[in-house]
């Protein structure tokens, strides 16, 4: 046990002492908890005290104030911090005080999980507490919790902020930093709000494959694996778009999925190789309708989480009140650079990139060049929610051509705080045109663009049966959580973000 710290060695010795005394440090899981901390604090009064005459609570020890024959123990349960008043002569009413001695010496370390029964009362200092009549060890903690500073009520005011610790040991982070738990609780509220919003309008939640023979629906580099039984390569999905469209072909008018996607690309404060995207597709709608319902959804999320559409994101105030600004991508580039790139060919776009000192690889085509120009010169300037609309056809191989503007498609991306939160189209439903777009992507792949799309022949076959006019959208849930919950990085809204494996694990 040379790798153990001195404190960890002492805790293992305490574990042995408990076992020697006949106390099971990890008893059977059933423990009849009757109340949680916030429930007690919010409902206990002099008038209701009879309802709290026989209470059973459980939680993790966060502090112990030893007064000799009396202990004040703060435990943390699912709802927060709660105080136990533990008196030796109540726990051991007879002459034998050995149980008290063994428990106080070995079973009341910070981090230990205990249960207690008794009645609720108010202390002289006005704190609602449980006057314990029994005390039970439910799980001995062998690793000490990191030290945090707490106020008199036990609430953290100086949290552990080291990201290496927090992201790698999220379980400990959740214990000692209560704001982290609140973030993930609100993430679930956010997702449930979306579900209710869509379900109330008649949408159907579905599941589509994570393992795919062709990584379609987006321009991204996939993860590759191998299916042993079929002896063929498979890909972790980069998007679920093409499967959801197959369902529109099959007769569903509105389908959605919270899709776990995987892209074998870079990692930074807004990118994780595994992430969650909401995609939905609605028959007989277009991208104008999609902009309006997206505004309604984002406004609803903000109001549900915060009661207002104005949110603090870092040092900025962002207002999700509909309607949002709209500007074409070509006008956005012109607005931010003074250069009109409309009608330019690939050579002209490369010259503009060179003029603006934007380094671009020789393998990418016209669409990616425009994307690079927008990303480098314009994307970061749109802080308030803004729909960037009407993209060149080369950037959007799955999108219907614009009904009035030659060379453009009916697409928008929603920018908030300089980042893309949503991407939506009037979907291309012409199978002949879709085949041609796929072939154009194949030509880019042959040039060396490892993010170009594969040809999905089964999807083309589905389109040949006929897909109604459809609008679809993809919303990055992790980035949306960052915005709505004012978190600076994607790792702060993922329970277990990807990290390089530890070189020396205990």
Residue 170: inside a domain: no
Report the CATH number that the domain containing residue 149 is assigned in CATH: 2.40.50.140
Same domain, 285 and 405: yes
Q: Are residues 394 and 449 in the same domain?
A: yes
Residue 417, both tokens? 């705080």
- Specify the pairing of strand 224-227 against strand 204-205: unpaired
Long-range contacts of 124-127 (CB under 8 A, 24+ apart): 127/83, 127/153
Kindly report which listed range (24-38, 39-53, 107-121, 451-465) carries the lowest average pLDDT score: 451-465
Q: Which residue matches tokens 């799980």?
A: 139
- Confidence band for 82, pLDDT divided at 50, 70 and 90: very high
Given a contact cutoff of 8 angstroms between Cβ atoms, the answer to whether 358 and 348 are in contact is: no
How many Å apart are CA 342 and CA 50, to the nearest integer? 76
Q: Identify whether residues 398 and 250 lie together within a single domain.
A: yes
Residue 458 structure tokens: 């089964």
**402-421 mean pLDDT:** 94
Nearest CA-CA partner of 84 in 100, 97, 112, 65: 65
Contact 279, 247 (CB under 8 A): no
Section 381-398 average pLDDT: 92
Q: Would you call 155 helix, strand, or coil by DSSP?
A: coil
Same domain, 320 and 427: yes
Task: Write out the two tokens for 208.
Answer: 């589509």
How much is the average pLDDT of 132-148? 93
Which of the listed residues 124, 158, 192 is the one where a domain comes to its end?
Answer: 158
How far is residue 387's CA from residue 384's CA, in Å, rounded to a whole number? Answer: 10
Q: For residue 506, is pLDDT > 60? A: no
Confidence class of residue 343 from pLDDT cuts 50, 70 and 90? confident
- Burial classification of residue 181, based on how many CB atoms lie within 10 Å of its CB (0-12 exposed, 13-18 middle, 19 or more buried): middle
Residue 157 has pLDDT above 60, yes or no: no
- CATH number reported for the structural domain that contains residue 192 in this entry: 3.30.930.10
Residue 299 within a domain: yes
Which of 158, 192, 208 is at the close of a domain? 158
Considering the domain architecture, whether residues 211 and 290 belong to the same structural domain is answered as yes
Question: Does residue 500 lie within any of the structural domains?
Answer: no
> Same domain for 129 and 223?
no
- Residue 469 counted as domain residue: yes
Confidence at residue 20, expressed as pLDDT on a 0 to 100 scale: 96
Residues 194 and 151 in one domain: no
Q: Is residue 439 a part of any domain in this protein?
A: yes
Instruction: Kindly provide the residue ranges of all beta strands, DSSP E only, lying in 185-309, ordered along the sequence.
Output: 204-205, 211-212, 224-227, 232-236, 254-262, 274-283
Q: Which two tokens stand for residue 492?
A: 């702060």
Per-residue confidence band for 290, with pLDDT thresholds at 50, 70 and 90: very high
Closest CA relative to residue 435, chosen from 410, 458, 402 = 458
Residue identified by tokens 């993790």 is 60
Structural domain span for residue 88: 6-158
pTM of the model: 0.89
For residues 145 and 243, membership in a common domain is answered with: no
Count of CB atoms within 10 A of residue 271's CB? 15
Give pLDDT, residue 351. Answer: 94
Q: Per-residue confidence at 152, pLDDT binned at 50, 70, 90?
A: low
**Residue 36 within any structural domain of the chain:** yes
Q: Report pLDDT digits (tens) over 213-249.
A: 988 887 788 999 999 999 999 999 999 999 999 999 9
> Do 50 and 96 fall into the same domain?
yes
What is the predicted pLDDT for the residue at 467? 97
Give the whole-number percent of the chain exceeding pLDDT 70. Answer: 96
Do 104 and 222 belong together in one domain?
A: no
Kindly list the distances between the CA atom of residue 12 and the CA atoms of 4, 5, 106, 206, 428, in Å, as whole numbers in the listed order: 10, 11, 10, 49, 64
Q: What is the pLDDT of residue 158?
A: 53
- pLDDT of residue 396 exceeding 90, the answer is no
Q: How many domains does the chain have?
A: 2
In a domain, 366, yes or no: no
How high is the mean pLDDT of the chain? Answer: 93
94 and 185 in a single domain? The answer is: no
Higher pLDDT, 506 or 350: 350
Give the rounded distance of the alpha carbon of 259 from its chain centre: 12
Count of alpha carbons within 13 angstroms of residue 327, beta-carbon side: 18
Query: 254 and 118 in one domain?
Result: no
Confidence of residue 58 (pLDDT cuts 50, 70, 90): very high
**Two structure tokens written together for 265:** 């690309």
480, pLDDT greater than 90: yes
* For range 271-284, the mean pLDDT: 96
Reference 481, options 204, 79, 192; nearest CA is: 192
Both tokens assigned to 324:
């949002």
Q: Does residue 502 fall inside a structural domain?
A: no
- Residue 334, pLDDT above cutoff 70: yes
């Amino acid at each position: 046990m040379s790798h153990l710290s001195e404190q960890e060695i002492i805790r293992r010795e305490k574990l042995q002492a408990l076992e020697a005394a006949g106390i099971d440090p990890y008893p059977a899981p059933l423990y009849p908890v009757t109340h949680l901390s916030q429930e007690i604090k919010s409902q206990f009064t002099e008038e209701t005290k009879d309802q709290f005459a026989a209470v059973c609570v459980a939680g993790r020890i966060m502090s112990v104030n030893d007064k000799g024959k009396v202990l004040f123990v703060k435990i943390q349960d699912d709802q927060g911090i709660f105080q136990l008043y533990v008196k030796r002569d109540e726990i051991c009413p007879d002459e034998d005080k050995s149980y008290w001695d063994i428990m106080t010496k070995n079973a009341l370390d910070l981090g230990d999980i205990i249960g207690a029964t008794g009645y609720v009362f108010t202390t002289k200092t006005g704190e609602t507490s449980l006057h314990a009549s029994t005390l039970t060890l439910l799980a001995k903690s062998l690793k000490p919790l990191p030290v945090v500073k707490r106020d008199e009520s036990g609430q953290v005011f100086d949290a552990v902020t080291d990201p290496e610790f927090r992201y790698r040991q999220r379980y400990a982070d959740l214990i000692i930093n209560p704001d982290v738990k609140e973030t993930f609780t609100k993430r679930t509220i956010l997702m449930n709000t979306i579900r209710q919003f869509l379900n109330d309008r008649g949408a159907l939640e579905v599941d589509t494959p994570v393992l795919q023979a062709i990584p379609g629906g987006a321009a991204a580099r996939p993860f590759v694996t191998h299916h042993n039984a079929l002896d063929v390569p498979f890909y972790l999905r980069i998007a679920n778009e093409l499967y959801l469209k197959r369902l529109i072909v099959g007769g569903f008018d509105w389908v959605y999925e919270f899709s776990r996607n995987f892209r074998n690309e870079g990692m930074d404060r807004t990118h994780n190789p595994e992430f969650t995207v909401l995609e939905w597709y609605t028959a007989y709608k277009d991208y104008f309708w999609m902009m309006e319902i997206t505004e309604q959804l984002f406004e609803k999320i903000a109001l549900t989480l915060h009661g207002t559409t104005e949110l603090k994101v870092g040092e900025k105030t962002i207002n999700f009140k509909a309607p949002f600004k709209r500007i074409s991508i070509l006008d956005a580039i012109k607005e931010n650079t003074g250069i009109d790139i409309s009608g330019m060919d690939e050579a002209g776009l490369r010259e503009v990139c060179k003029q603006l000192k934007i380094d671009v690889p020789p393998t990418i085509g016209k669409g990616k060049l425009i994307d690079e120009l927008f990303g480098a010169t314009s994307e970061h300037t749109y802080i308030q929610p803004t729909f960037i609309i009407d993209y060149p056809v080369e950037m959007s191989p799955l999108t219907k051509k614009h009904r009035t503007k030659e060379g453009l498609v009916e697409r928008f991306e929603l920018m908030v705080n300089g980042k893309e939160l949503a991407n939506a189209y009037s979907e291309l439903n012409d199978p002949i045109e879709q085949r041609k777009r796929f072939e154009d992507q194949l030509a880019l792949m042959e040039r060396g663009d490892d993010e170009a799309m594969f040809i999905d022949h089964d999807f083309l076959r589905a389109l040949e049966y006929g897909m109604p006019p459809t609008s679809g959208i993809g919303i990055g849930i992790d980035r949306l959580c960052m915005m709505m919950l004012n978190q600076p990085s994607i790792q702060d809204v993922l329970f277990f973000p990807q990290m390089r494996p530890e070189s020396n694990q205990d």
